[in-house]
Every structure is written in structure tokens, then in C-alpha cells.
Amino acid sequence: METTTIKLGISTCPNDTFAFHGLMTQAVDWRGLNFAIELIDIQQLNDRLFAGDFDVAKASFHAALLLADRTVVLPSGSALGFGVGPMLLSAVPGAVPTNSTQVVLCPGQHTTATLLLKLFYPGTARIEHIVFSDIMPKLERNEAEFGVCIHEGRFTWQNHGLGLVADLGTRWEAETNGPLPLGGIMAQRTLPPETIATVQAVIRDSLDLAVADPSLALPSMRKYAQEFEDDVLMKHVDLYVNAWTRDLGDTGRSALAQLSTRAKSIGLVDDPMPAIEVFDD
């Protein structure tokens, strides 16, 4: 019998390398599938999912909104929660964005970080997109006035002499009374449902393995992280890996519906686009 190869893309951030360590190292059963795995930046993942380069990939939920007619979200592997949002930072502490001549660095056109900036600070600055790991260094060098920080930078921005303008996740929570959906695992609708179900099962197995013994995943996390201290890596996991990572559940689905409604309200998603669908495993 011919083995089905799944082109899988995941990000290099610690919550993904933690959750996917078992899958990447084949410490869990691949259940008859073959995985061809790439680890790249989240905006690269978004772009290549749009291009159809992956069968299954981690992507921003901003991208998922725009791909809802082509992909489904898997119940496992998502990042959402309370206190997990992007941070809008300033090069000069105390500064706030006020006009379109100022520059805000964002980690990618279709990241949830950019979506939140557009929701909460519409038209107040000029957005430039760069790789997330370059944002804080550029702010330190005063090469831009503002930047939206994600991933490990949430725990280290104070060490760089920057100012906090707003915790965009906290604002989302206050306005929606729900967790912030950041990103999840998208599968192409062209895959047979039984194949999607098998991929979902392998991902859940991998996540369960890591949760049972977090130290097993540290080698993969260290290999790809921007920050190398183990305590920072595990803080990242503690924040971004939770019950909704194992299964979105009703709360996760509700948060995705809120994201869709708000994105359509400011014209970021066309009304005819269907709502995000979570695969029923």
C-alpha cells in the first residue's frame, strides 16, 4: 500500500516545537502516514499556505479567516488563551502612535498581531512587516517608533529599554470576555477526511507526550528558539499550551467566531467568505 505523505509546516516558536517534538522525532506513531516537515517563521507559513505549498500547517487565525473556503482548523495544536496577546511596544517609553507618518513594525501581513493592531489602532501609523525576531532590535536602534512583539519577546521586552503602549491581548479579552485566538493548525480541504482525522490523531498524540514529560521536548525547543534559556522556553509553553491546545472546544470555537465577526466589521474579510470551520474528529 502506498504511504500518504503529508507536507507539514510548523513555526519555530517554543509552543510548536514543544507540541510537535514527538511528531518530529517520530517518538509517536505516525499511524501509517509519512510527514515531510518544515519549520519556518509564522508569516512564511501564512504565505506558503496561501500558495498551497502545505497539506497541513500552523498559521495565524488571521490567515485562517482568509482561507476559510480552502482549509479547516484542526481541534488540536492551537494557541489561544488569556494573557497571551501581542505587545505594542515603543522605542521611546511613554510614546503612543498618533499619525500615519510613524512606523509600526509588525511580524507579517496576515498575523493575528497585525489584525489586532488594525482593530484597535486603525489608521494611526504606517505598518511595515519584518521577521518577528528583528522587531525589538530595530526599536532599540530607533529605526522605527513602534513594534508589535510576539513569541518569547513577551517575556524579555523590558530588558531592551522599550516602552509598553498596550497589551493587545488584554484589550481583546476586555472587549470579548473570551480568550485571544492566535494561531492553529490548518488542513487543506482537498485532503480526504480520514487523512485529516489521522493527522489530527498524530498531533494530539505528540502533544500528549510532551505534556506528560515536558523535558523530552527541550532539545527541539532549544534548537529553534530565539531565546535559549530553558526557563524562558518553559514560560512560553506554560502561557501558550493549555486545554484549548489539546481541544478547542466550545470556547475556542466561540473565540474564532468573534474574530471573524470583528474582522468583517472593519473590512479585513469579505462578507461572502465562510466562517472558520473546525474539523470534527
| pLDDT computed for residue 160 by the predictor | 83
- Measure CA 64 to chain center: 11
| pLDDT computed for residue 272 by the predictor | 84
pLDDT at 271 over 90: no
What is the identity of the amino acid at 2?
Answer: E
Q: 131: pLDDT confidence band, cut at 50, 70 and 90?
A: confident
- Altogether, the residues listed in the chain come to a count of 281
Q: Is 120 exposed, middle or buried (0-12, 13-18, 19+ CB in 10 A)?
A: middle
Q: Find where cell 481541534 sits.
A: 75
pLDDT at 185 over 70: yes
Q: Find where cell 530588558 sits.
A: 159
What proportion of the chain, given as a percentage, has pLDDT over 90? 63
- Give the lowest-confidence range in 6-20, 27-41, 108-122: 108-122
Q: Catalytic residues, which ones? A: 151
| pLDDT computed for residue 264 by the predictor | 86
Cα separation, 204 vs 166, in Å, equals: 34
Q: 228: pLDDT confidence band, cut at 50, 70 and 90?
A: low
pLDDT tens readout for residues 186-207: 999 999 999 999 999 999 999 9
**Full DSSP string of the chain:** -PPPEEEEEEESSHHHHHHHHHHHTT-S--TT-EEEEEEE-HHHHHHHHHTT--SEEEEEHHHHHHTTTTEEE-SSS-EEESS---EEEESSTT----STTSEEEES-TTSHHHHHHHHHSTTSSEEEE--GGGHHHHHHTTSSSEEEE-TTHHHHGGGGT-EEEEEHHHHHHHHHSSPEEEEEEEEETTS-HHHHHHHHHHHHHHHHHHHH-GGGGHHHHHHH-SS--HHHHHHHHHHH-SHHHH--HHHHHHHHHHHHHHHHHTTSS-TTSPPP-B---
pTM as predicted: 0.84
Q: Are 230 and 87 in contact (CB under 8 A)?
A: no
Q: Are 76 and 20 in contact (CB under 8 A)?
A: no
pLDDT tens readout for residues 145-176: 999 988 667 777 878 889 999 999 999 999 99
Angle formed by the axes of helices 249-265 and 112-120, nearest 10°: 50
pLDDT tens readout for residues 42-75: 889 989 999 999 999 999 898 999 999 999 999 9
> Count of alpha carbons within 13 Å of 179, Cβ hemisphere only?
24
Q: 85: pLDDT confidence band, cut at 50, 70 and 90?
A: confident
pLDDT at 1 over 60: no
* Domains (range + CATH), the chain: 5-81+180-265 (3.40.190.10), 87-176 (3.40.190.10)
Cα separation, 108 vs 103, in Å, equals: 14
